[in-house]
Structure 1
């Protein structure tokens, strides 16, 4: 684990323990681990995993909420030369069973909160409960030759477009993403970071969390997102930083405790996954909290670009500039060109970009154009700053014109009455496709008033043909809207009404 051959993520606790052994690494409730204690526990758990038959290249799955044990299992698995597979605890037993079979897990580690889900998952590999970490006898800790090119992590994509597939991230991918983050914004050894995004997601691990541990700061995993509890913890523990999705930021600034909570300790809050509403960003900025929007994807570990403190005032809705060791380009009409004012599909390359999906050679090949990974997102560039226009697959072509749902949604939420909005396409006999807007309101709003606002700010062909007011939008575990579900709902609803 500590030998010179082990250069991967699994050696991070031991190497940090040599630099700052007595600094606090992880905090949760009344439990605290220093870097020296974390290194000792990781070494012991690695010995236990080896005794249970885990070998280099094996997959060790984890199921449970954010917890110190997630980090212990990640680092111990990596120290064995095996591959860590964190699973989404919000899925069904059937979905968990699919992922366990898909990755061919040798061992499933789970916490007590996931016991019922594990029981419903059907055939299982060998199982280790986190509460048995200390009770289990430990074997000889392994010391395989782990290199930066070896796989470290399988992260399943969110599944918004179909069956989840696992991106294979190497030790090098994770390390270079960490270096990119450190080059882009200041992470200090004195930082106290909250980890509120789920650790089965790239934001939970790659943004803030691993960079903070790399620098010797303190990370506090949060098992369940509760906006009021998060605000209270920020004030109580003098939290300096965290990363989140825009939905979380919105819920926090709408919480009754928002105006009275002391957030002065926050030096930086990162967000990504989707654009943030301007009124939400303004609520944080007005409290003196510096927000940085990032753009990324699981396949890039996840960072591709991020805004900067100096440039954000002039580019308030931009996803920032590319990370230091990440290259970007555009794909338009099958030609690779520099990004510019015209929308094009974003291409990405760099040492943080993965090399493929687990056992999916055809999908891996389809995801690349030469050495460039196809993001599936349409972007444009303004003075080197990236603006996300929309997903390629979300594009609606109505009467031969391109309609980007994100543009329509951004105009809709300008109305104070609109809480959130999602636009999807539905087949139309006359126009090929038309938009269906699913709208969640915070105050009374008529369809006519919404249409008047959209028509005043958008071309006529961009205004959705259908408007549906709903109580909420379907979202996945990371807060992204499940557009596949909305498309299915729209097709079923409006196909019955025929076409104009």
Structure 2
């Protein structure tokens, strides 16, 4: 095959289903034939501006069809796509542009950094007007397709390289686990610069010839409107997004009968939230993965979602996943250990960072830094991040477990738990709790609710009732800033 890479997908899909709708955005429909034409002209314009195979092309902006066009045009040239988190500060964005060595930037907002080719999203039509078809270079599965910067909750983020093969094998894994159909109406509401929205939703939908309904950003009412207007069949979200839907006044009466599958990941999801969706007759499928695994590592298929509620499922079809002790020997069933992943979906390493690559990969196994248990049947349950676990009085405390218990409180919308220093116990828990809309909640309510539900050493000593939680661009809670805040008065005796 002359071009085995992702850059060949627009032509192949346009040939198979030219009149089918590829994208819907702000009421505008784009067919696969139209999308292929636009991608080809953009690729030609970038080539004329000096972008060649191996160059890095960055994109900065909210979800928009131009993201998809820029990505495929980049791949059509054999170049490397670098999607940037538009929620980052200018210095953070500038760091990633410099670190990746971006030759071109297509952006929704001005950025004060030296890049050879800079195009505003608003000027894309003019930029591509004179573009003609380009001859695609030969692209192999081992060639780098993307550099995706990790959330960077501590220090500078690392640029995880994903090859064309990594992304394609991830699509295969996803299609084995989810019955994606050619009539799929996929809601893309999570940010496309995040690996889950891109590789778990948009690209598998594209591969099958379905329709991606793109939202510029997450909005609860906008999601309900899209489901009603487009009869959405499939969507991905993180816990915070699904909690927002279930707490909306529209939840009780919304027509959700078109939805075939809801998919979540990014962090353990409280079982109470999963049950709320199951009570509506919805298949709520939880998976586990990370940027470096493209991202799928484990998945709980719809047929098992009720029998194994809260599980992150089994290893995906084309990958191996295991749980290991610190010495890398296998953990026993039920014993917490670090998740290791090996397979064709696993990153070859980090861009221009050989030391980080060497630390992350051991004999082909990627070391996730996440803790999980595996039961006798092979189902994974994610316990927490290794760095988030803390030890109180000699006992391990996993914040995700405590957060799930707090979420059971009817007045709680969200919770985040961190370990803080304590002279007596070494560390104790501190909970940051967001009340549900219209609910009343005091710091003392949380320890009282958890008494009898959790061992005493797991119950947070400190509780902060807050309006919201700091988040990364992929909607994960940033716990570093929470740990740095001054301590309040104890909510319970130590």
Aligned mate of 1:417, from 400, 411, 421 = 411
Q: Distance in 1 between matches of 2:464 and 2:232?
A: 40
Deviation per residue, 1:402-444 (Å, 9 max, x gap): 1111111111122112222211112223322222112222333
How many residue pairs are counted as aligned between the two chains? 487
Helix, strand or coil at the partner of 1:359: coil
Q: Distance in 2 between matches of 1:449 and 1:494?
A: 15
Helix, strand or coil at the partner of 2:366: strand
TM-score between both structures, scaled by the size of structure 2: 0.94
Deviation per residue, 1:323-365 (Å, 9 max, x gap): 1001011220313316621111000011001011111111111
Deviation per residue, 1:143-162 (Å, 9 max, x gap): 21100000001111111233
Helix, strand or coil at the partner of 1:230: helix
Aligned mate of 2:484, from 475, 484, 488 = 488
Check conservation: 1:50, 1:140, Cα contact below 8 A.
no
Helix, strand or coil at the partner of 2:451: helix
Stretch of structure 1 that moved more, 269-278 or 280-289: 280-289
Q: Distance in 1 between matches of 2:123 and 2:435?
A: 47
Aligned residue number for residue 455 of structure 2: 459
Give the 5 Å matches for 1:324-363.
324-337=317-330, 340-363=333-356
Aligned residue number for residue 237 of structure 1: 230
Helix, strand or coil at the partner of 1:353: coil
Check conservation: 1:46, 1:142, Cα contact below 8 A.
no
Aligned mate of 1:63, from 35, 56, 60 = 60
Aligned mate of 2:378, from 371, 378, 384 = 384
Check conservation: 1:329, 1:339, Cα contact below 8 A.
no
Deviation per residue, 1:459-481 (Å, 9 max, x gap): 22222222222222111222211
Q: Distance in 1 between matches of 2:327 and 2:272?
A: 38
Aligned residue number for residue 38 of structure 2: 41
Give the 5 Å matches for 1:142-181.
142-181=135-174
Aligned residue number for residue 125 of structure 2: 134
Aligned residue number for residue 183 of structure 2: 190
Unaligned runs of 5+ in 2: none
The RMSD of aligned alpha carbons is 2.0
TM-score between both structures, scaled by the size of structure 1: 0.93
Unaligned runs of 5+ in 1: none
Check conservation: 1:51, 1:140, Cα contact below 8 A.
no
Aligned residue number for residue 304 of structure 2: 311
Q: Distance in 1 between matches of 2:208 and 2:103?
A: 32
Aligned residue number for residue 404 of structure 1: 398
Q: Say whether 1:290 aligns with 2:283.
A: yes
Aligned residue number for residue 468 of structure 2: 472
Stretch of structure 1 that moved more, 271-280 or 375-384: 271-280
Check conservation: 2:40, 2:133, Cα contact below 8 A.
no
Helix, strand or coil at the partner of 2:29: strand
Check conservation: 1:93, 1:122, Cα contact below 8 A.
no
Deviation per residue, 1:311-331 (Å, 9 max, x gap): 121111111111100101122
